[in-house]
A and B are shown apart, each in its own frame.
Chain A
Amino acid sequence: MAELTGTDDIGGAGLSGTDTRGAGASRAWDGVRAYFLIAGMWIRSTMAYRASFALMTFTNFAATALDFVAILLMFSRVHTLGGWSLQQVAFLYGVSSTTFGLADMVIGSMERLGRRVRDGTLDTLLVRPVPVLAQMAADQFALRRLGRTSQGALVLTYAVLHLDIAWTPAKVLLMPVMLLSGCAIFCAVFIAGAAFQFAAQDAAEVQNAFTYGGTTLLQYPPTVFATELLRGVTFVLPLAFVNWVPASYVLGLPYPLGLPEWAAFTPPLVAAASVALAGLAWRAGLRSYRSTGS
């Protein structure tokens, strides 16, 4: 009887599930905690079968490495691709695979949202006391996806060792910033894709086009693509900031679309904005689900 604080809605359309403004931080913390709880459980359960885990990880490593083999084969015929050498392309490939692999591992299971809406199991997540996003992201957490990341990291290491980069403090600093921001941008794409699946439940394939398709796109130099496409992945879906723009700075190559030099340092901002927008889209999606039930 004491608890009547929530009675006066602000226009009745308050943001889903939020209690008060102060609770935002604790909700975020609840989400992170729940994420680690669920992911931890999945890791423990996969570790019960170590041999199987090792095999799966290796398979993941090998399957994703085929992408790089394709690039190697291409370079057996040509010396440069769109003006980029093998090592330079390897650099792009390494950053793209590492960041995407991490994002895919951390949050890739979001792509199952449409299926959960269709079969009704999303409801079971909504009756638990932790954010749905965290539960979706941690669901079936698969450490074997490290296979892709480690493969990408190896290629990146190879590239860095064989490229004659004139290292400056700014370039050194940009490396971890680029990897973290890239990972965050891919995470935003996963979240936005899942949010879109609230509206179109069969859109997992569309999402794949942007996630898996996106990482494949970024494995090649921007110079081989049409300007319209470059504009799209720079200003609409900002994948160019995962590697093309910052890598151009590190490697001393011309920027795609003639962007200004400082653009190389914007990935953290782009990533933050992408994550924020994706988060809003997710909220809107979840709210519409809760009002329509589908």
Chain B
Amino acid sequence: MADADTFIDVDRLEKVFDVRRKTGFLRRERREVRAVDSISFTVARGEMVGYIGPNGAGKSTTIKMLTGILTPSGGRLRVAGIDPSRERTRLAHRIGVVFGQRTTLWWDLPLIDSYQLMHRMYRIPPARYRENLDRCVELLELAELLEVPVRQLSLGQRMRGDIAAALLHDPEVLYLDEPTIGLDVISKAKVRGFLRELNEERGTTVLLTTHDLQDIEQLCSRVMVIDHGRLMYDGALTGLHEIGESERTLVVDLERELPPIEAGPARVVRVEGPRQWLAFPAAESAAALVARIAAEYPLVDLSVREPDIEAVIARMYAGAAGATAAEQAPQAPGQASAPAGKAVS
């Protein structure tokens, strides 16, 4: 069914939680929550895939099943030919995991201690360990931090430390759950640059969940969107923008109050004194637009705001509902139109 290059093979994967809610004194109500509802996809070796969706969409649950933390309720799942939940520890040697919100490092110990422990716990050959550590230390700029206890690291530093820890044993796939959450611009850029290089040079397969569409834009050729446990979209980011008709916003500060700017596909959505907000299709280049405005208007400052993922998904819903009208079941709105990406059931 899957070709030889398939590294992750997910077939009608399901995870159902029993949620108990207190409805009164001692009385509880049980409810089934389908956190992951029959998702299928494959990821080829060396791919870099973004996995996005609103909070509670099922992203983390999927990652937890892929890493063997959670046992699926149904469906079939193979990573490198291994069933993660049944052979969790064997799989652990071949995967790296970074949780944005919690560290896998030993909180009270210096960073280097965690690395040495990983070295021995994963039985990494000494030469290999040295090489990988040196490389990570250099590229992630960790040299100054090695002797610092993890709890004293800033969020960005800790994230870099965590990424290094996940890579010392040469994993074939790296899962990152919100790797840039809460990071400043510089840290984000460092992390993204490193991941891109890792993927290009080592051919490491990367699957990352994120809230930040820029992560996807700069890193991933492919994006999967999940909502309410269902895969809504699987394809290129541009295709997602087309379906979602998403728009970026260019905020322009002019020298003085002027009538609304007229510039091609962009339209002014708001004016406040000398400041104007222009919406333009997310798939369009901002550079061309900026150049045009700069040539014709007295520009003081500007910034570009990316559409947030929730907005894109909300529009996807709206678009799909409009296109398919009544014949689609309400819980599967993403099925209808996916011009650039694969339509997903």
A66 to B117, CA, bound (A): 38
Q: What 0/1 pattern do residues 50 to 75 of B give for CB contact below 8 A with A?
A: 00000000000100100111110100
Interface segment out of the listed B97-105, B191-199, B262-270: B97-105
- The stretch that binds B, out of A125-133, A230-238, A250-258, A266-274, is A125-133
Residues in A1-54 with C-beta less than 8 Å from chain B: 1-4, 6-7, 9, 14, 16-17, 19, 27, 30, 34, 37-38, 41-42, 44-45
Please judge, given known A-B contacts A41-B113, A128-B92, A290-B71, whether A123 and B64 are in contact too, CB under 8 Å. yes
**Chain B residues with CB under 8 A of A42:** 109
Known: A1-B81, A123-B102. A129 touches B93 (CB 8 A): yes
Q: A residues near B, CB below 8 A? A: 1-4, 6-7, 9, 14, 16-17, 19, 27, 30, 34, 37-38, 41-42, 44-45, 119-121, 123-124, 126-131, 140, 287, 290-293
Partner of A126, one of B88, B90, B102, B113: B88
Q: Is B26 an interface residue (CB 8 A)?
A: no
Instruction: State the main secondary structure of chain B at its contact with A.
Output: loop
Once the chains are docked, how many angstroms separate the CA of A44 from the CA of B86?
35
Interface size class of B (residues with CB under 8 A): 35 or more
Tell me the complex Cα distance, A173–B70, Å. 47
Whether A37 contacts B82 by the Cβ 8 Å rule is no
Q: From B85, which residue of chain A is reached at the shortest CB distance?
A: A290
> Would A121 and B102 count as touching, CB distance under 8 A?
yes
CB closest chain-B residue, reference A121 = B102
Nearest-neighbour CB distance to chain A for B12, whole angstroms, equals 15
- A interface footprint on B16-42 (CB within 8 Å = 1, 0 otherwise): 011000000000000000000000000
How distant is A19 from chain B, measured CB to nearest CB, in Å? 6
- Complex: chain B residue closest to A131, CB-CB: B89
Q: Which residue of B lies closest to A288 (CB)?
A: B71
Residue A124 contacts which of B68, B81, B82, B104 (CB distance < 8 angstroms)? Answer: B104
Complex CA distance for A14 and B99, rounded to whole angstroms: 27
Closest 10 CB pairs of A and B: A129-B92, A3-B81, A124-B104, A127-B97, A126-B69, A6-B83, A6-B86, A129-B89, A17-B88, A291-B71
Contact of B117 among A17, A38, A120, A292 (CB under 8 A): A38
Within the complex, what minimum Cβ distance (angstroms) separates A183 from chain B? 26
Minimum CB distance partner of B149 in chain A: A45
Task: Determine whether B4 belongs to the interface, using a CB cutoff of 8 Å to chain A.
Answer: yes
Give residues in B with beta carbon < 8 Å to A: 4, 17-18, 61, 64, 67-71, 73, 80-83, 85-90, 92-93, 95, 97, 99, 101-104, 106, 108-110, 113, 116-117, 120-122
Which has the most chain A C-beta neighbours within 10 Å: B18, B87, B103? B87
Q: What are 16 A-B contacts defined by CB distance under 8 Å?
A: A14-B86, A27-B89, A38-B117, A44-B113, A120-B102, A121-B102, A123-B102, A124-B102, A124-B103, A128-B121, A129-B89, A129-B92, A290-B70, A291-B73, A292-B17, A293-B70
Q: Does A130 lie within 8 Å of B70, measured CB to CB?
A: no
Which of B4, B69, B113 neighbours the largest number of chain A CB atoms within 10 Å of its CB?
A: B69
User: By CB atoms of chain B within 10 A, which of A38, A123, A287 has the most?
Assistant: A123
Residues of B contacting A130 with CB < 8 Å?
89, 121
Which residues from chain A contact B80 at a C-beta distance below 8 Å?
Answer: 3
In the bound assembly, the distance between CA atoms of A34 and B89 in angstroms comes to: 13
Given the contacts A34-B121, A124-B103, A129-B122, A41 and B81 also touching, CB distance less than 8 Å? no
A92 to B108 alpha-carbon distance, docked (Å): 37
Q: Which residues of A contact B116 (CB under 8 A)?
A: 41
Specify which chain B residues have a CB less than 8 angstroms from the CB of A45 in the assembled complex: 108-110, 113
Q: In whole angstroms, how far apart are the Cα atoms of A195 and B281 in the complex? A: 54
Return chain A residues, CB-CB under 8 Å to B120.
37
Q: Are B92 and A41 in contact (CB under 8 A)?
A: no
A2 touches B81 (CB 8 A): yes
A39 vs chain B, min Cβ distance (A): 11
Q: For the complex, what is the distance from the CA of A287 to the CA of B103, rounded to whole Å?
A: 23
A290 CA / B64 CA spacing, docked (Å): 9
A7 and B121 contact, Cβ closer than 8 Å, known pairs A123-B99, A126-B68, A290-B70: no
Taking the closest CB of chain B, its distance from the CB of A67, in whole angstroms, is 29
